[in-house]
Amino acid sequence: MREQAERIPDRPFLRFEDETVSFGAYNAGVNRYAAALRRLGVERGDPVAVMMDNSSAFLMAEGAMAKLGAIGALVNTHLRGAALAQVLAAAGARVVLADGAAMPALAEIDTAAATVLSLDPGATGFRSLPEALAAAGEAEPDIPDVKVSDVFLYIYTSGTTGYPKPTVVRHARFSMGGHSLRTLLGLGPSDCSYAPTPLYHGYSNFVGFSPALHAGSAFASRRRFSARHFLDDARRHGATCFMYVGELCRYLLRQPPTPRDRDHSIRLATGPGLRPDVWQAFVERFGIPRIIETYGQTEANLSLMNRRGRAGSVGRSAPFTHGQLKLVRWDAATGAPWRGADGFLRECGPGEVGELLSVVASNTTMAFDGYVDPRHNEEKLLRDCFAAGDCYLRTGDLLRRDRASYYYFVDRIGDTFRWKGENVATQQVAELLNGAPGVSETAVYGVRLPGAEGRAGMAFVVLQAGASFDPVSYFDFGERVLPPYARPLFVRVGEAMDVTGTLKHTKLRLQEEGYDPARVGDPLWFRDDAARRYVPLDAERFAQLDFGAL
């Protein structure tokens, strides 16, 4: 930060909607945050919670952690109540930096154990962050003996199951990733990386902000993602690289086409979650010449990257790490990797679906830090996998691999279910059903039936603008593209998906509400094989269902 501020002080660095911050101004802001935190007694190794929407203030606060050797606990701004209280307690932070958007949530919980500084001048009951910054100077702080092995950030898991858990990010990972990606993305002074998803998650921070800082190029974002404003932002900021996550690209395709869809400077898009069913349509409509799809987990020690644009693949590992990843046969009955008679795991062959594991050992390039709480690490570690005493990390994801060592995502293990003695991969089924007439987006999940073994399939469907659900054509389409056991028994038609901050589907509420009309306000449909169509599932038909015959 300091070197870039000295070398290129006036070059634009941060661009948030209508705000532009130069490298020099950014470094000065970081110094103010560092001085304000030091006045509060924050020292090397102390955790400080940052609960802000995307902004220059967020990144100045994060930069101050680096200069003080403190730990920035980056808190999801959507958390409320018990979840927020648990997340703050897990961080162990006695100082919280927050913006106005976080105030209602913080006001609902007991924060007496921490000093909360708010950017909102109207917030009552909390200290003023603007006043603290005004009283702080812009001089370079005395940087303690911070080492690359020191912890820099706590990044929380997205919380698709249970409360979010803090994971460890060291300075080495953040900085070396920025150096490497600067080269891989080909960033130069005229580039601008646009990452409109939350900075409190890793991807926009690690792949957008960090490489731009190291390259001396610009980083752009907005307070919260907006599909409607995406192209306007790209043009205004001169974006050349775009960082996506989850279903973001699908949401962009939902926007009405315009003659200016290709009127932008984006030469490259990179991220995790560009599904095969929208990949080509996204590339063709927006004219983005290069896609680098990736796969990784914040808490894990592996990274896959598809640098050659092989459509549908999440990539392959670096050549020297191929042997450190294992794709192993998975036992659906136990929900765990399958072990042979000798007690060891078995690797999958090309095209075979299995769980992805990564080695945990001191003599590899793939260091594992995992979660802040060691107990959470133990839940994901497997021992005695291929030899006595070895140790591997479970990703909890099912993938397949081709003969060129390219991997393809299949499903989350917690989402895959069994029905009629067969495994149903929800992600694959959803991608196929997205092609049904009038359908924009689908989430597939398993629901339990009284007295039945396994779980039956249910689909939550979001329709295209102006479309209506056609129960006959949807039945016909499912019959054409899916085997009988994978066709949804129930369909729920809703207006929008439940998603995390990184636009991943979260199905907990859908599974809990199930298919009971008394609990579900959305239209429900039931597959009637005799009538060869889906029929409305109202309270009367629900009461007449013969679950033993399904």
* Range name among 114-123, 184-193, 235-244, 462-471 with the lowest pLDDT average: 114-123
Closest alpha carbon to 459 in 503, 411, 416, 510: 510
For 241-281, how does the pLDDT look when each residue is reduced to its tens digit (9 = 90+)? 999 987 899 899 989 999 999 999 999 999 998 988 899 99
Q: How far is CA 209 from CA 3, 293, 541, in A?
A: 16, 18, 54
143 — pLDDT class (breaks 50, 70, 90)? confident
The structural domains of the chain, ordered by start, are: 1-164 (3.40.50.12780), 171-298 (3.40.50.980), 319-412 (2.30.38.10), 419-549 (3.30.300.30)
Phi, psi of 449 (to 5 degrees): -110, 145
Compute the mean pLDDT over every residue in the chain, rounded to the nearest whole number. 91
Residues 6 or more apart whose CB falls under 8 angstroms from that of 31 comprise: 64, 67, 136, 137, 138, 139, 140, 141
The answer to whether residues 192 and 221 touch, using CB atoms and an 8 Å cutoff, is no
366 — pLDDT class (breaks 50, 70, 90)? low
For residue 463 the two structure tokens come to 């329709």
Strands 354-359 and 391-401: antiparallel
Q: Say yes or no to pLDDT of 548 above 70.
A: no
Q: For the chain, give the number of residues.
A: 550
For residue 214, the 8-state DSSP code is: H
For 170-210, how does the pLDDT look when each residue is reduced to its tens digit (9 = 90+)? 999 999 999 999 999 999 999 999 999 999 988 899 999 99
Q: How far is CA 267 from CA 209, 234, 270, 280, 292, in A?
A: 18, 11, 10, 16, 11
Phi, psi of 525 (to 5 degrees): -135, 150
159 — pLDDT class (breaks 50, 70, 90)? low
157 — pLDDT class (breaks 50, 70, 90)? confident
Q: Say yes or no to pLDDT of 9 above 70.
A: yes
* pLDDT given at position 549: 64
Phi-psi region of 477 (alpha: psi -120 to 50; beta: other; left: phi over 0): alpha
Q: Say yes or no to pLDDT of 160 above 60.
A: no
Phi, psi of 163 (to 5 degrees): -75, 150
